[in-house]
Amino acid sequence: MSIASSIFLIAVGAILRYAVTFNVSGVDREAVGLILMIAGFAGLGISLLYQLLYTSHRNSGGGRSSGYDDRYERPPPSPHDDRTRRLR
């Protein structure tokens, strides 16, 4: 469940619980709203925890490159330093 869908569930649950006044026989509207809000908060917590753990793992190095490329900071190779000439 994504963060956006969790917030959507929280909003729909709050609307059902506090703003809507219709009654359906056999359905407790306030209980349904509360269940949706609890599910939304649980999903939001899990989504945020996942994002926190995933980004901390990505930034810790974990075998992946950081995206930093230093080839533009190194001086260009000398024209006299021909690697292919060394192999001959």
Helix, strand, coil shares of the chain, percent, nearest 5, are 60, 0, 40
Say which residue, 10 or 75, is predicted with more confidence.
Answer: 10
pLDDT in the model for residue 49 = 92
Q: What phi-psi label fits residue 77: left (phi over 0), alpha (psi between -120 and 50 degrees) or beta?
A: beta
Sign of CA dihedral 43, 44, 47, 53: negative
Global model pTM greater than 0.85: no
Read off the pLDDT of residues 31-57 as tens digits, 9 standing for 90 and up.
999 999 999 999 999 999 999 888 766
Read off the pLDDT of residues 55-88 as tens digits, 9 standing for 90 and up.
766 655 555 556 666 666 777 667 666 666 655 5
DSSP assignment of 22-47, as one string? Answer: --BTTB-HHHHHHHHHHHHHHHHHHH
